[in-house]
Amino acid sequence: MSVSAEKSSGHALDAGQFEVTVMRGVVKWYDQKRGYGFIRMPDGHPDAILLPSRLKEAGYAFVRKDSHITCQVVSGPRGMQCVRVLSIDESTTLLERERSTDIKNVRVVEGPTQLAVKSFFSDRGYGFFELPGRPDVFFHNTTLKWSGVVRSPVAGQVFDVFYGENTAKLDGSLLAVAVRSTTS
C-alpha cells in the first residue's frame, strides 16, 4: 500500500509515494498550539511526527502524552510520519482534571466508569449518561471537547466517565467532568 505524505505544514509532499507500515507507539508529546506532536516508535525506530489532520480524520481533537497509538507510518525525506491513526488507547493516561477531587461545583466520586449515552441534544449542547440505579449523569458539550471528543455522541455509545456530585445544587445531581472514548 502506498499513500501521499504531508509536510509538517499539512501540505502534500512533492515526492511520490511511500511504503506504509503499521506500528504501535506511545505519544511522546502533542501540542495543539504548535499543531503537531511526536510518537515514540518501538524497536529503535525514529520518532514519528503526528499532525492534527490525522487525529481529526480518526475523530480526535488531540491526544494525551503516554497514550498508546496504533497508526500507519511512512518514512519520508524528513523522517517518520503518521499518515493514519488506527486506534488510540488512553487507558494508562490520567488527566489533571481526573486526578482532582475538588473541581468547581463538583466533588468527584467515581471514575472512570463505563457509561452509555442516554441522550444528547446537539442543538442545546448537553446530554446525559445512563447510570443504572442512580440519577443520570449530566454532561456538557465543552466537557466532550475538553476531553478530546470531536464527534457528537449517539445514544448507546459508551465512554469511560469521571463524574461527581454537583455541590452547587444539593439535589444529588451528578455531573461528568471528563470522558474518554472507549472505541477507536
CATH superfamily of the 2-89 domain: Nucleic acid-binding proteins (2.40.50.140)
CA separation for the pair 69, 90 (Å, rounded): 9
pLDDT(100) > 50: no
Percent over 90 (pLDDT), the chain: 31
Tens of pLDDT along 23-60?
999 999 888 788 899 999 998 899 999 999 999 898 88
**β-pairing verdict for 48-50 and 36-40:** antiparallel
Is 96-181 the same fold as 2-89? yes
- pLDDT score for 16: 45
Of 80, 75, 67, 78, nearest in space to 25 by CA: 67
Q: Give the pLDDT band of residue 66 (cuts 50, 70, 90).
A: confident
Q: Which residue has the higher pLDDT, 91 or 176?
A: 176
- pLDDT score for 63: 84
CA separation for the pair 29, 10 (Å, rounded): 18
Write out the CATH class of domain 96-181.
Answer: mainly beta
The domain segmentation of the chain, as residue ranges, is: 2-89, 96-181
Q: Which residue has the higher pLDDT, 96 or 149?
A: 149
CB 147 within 8 A of CB 111: no
- pLDDT score for 118: 96
Write down the pTM of the prediction: 0.49
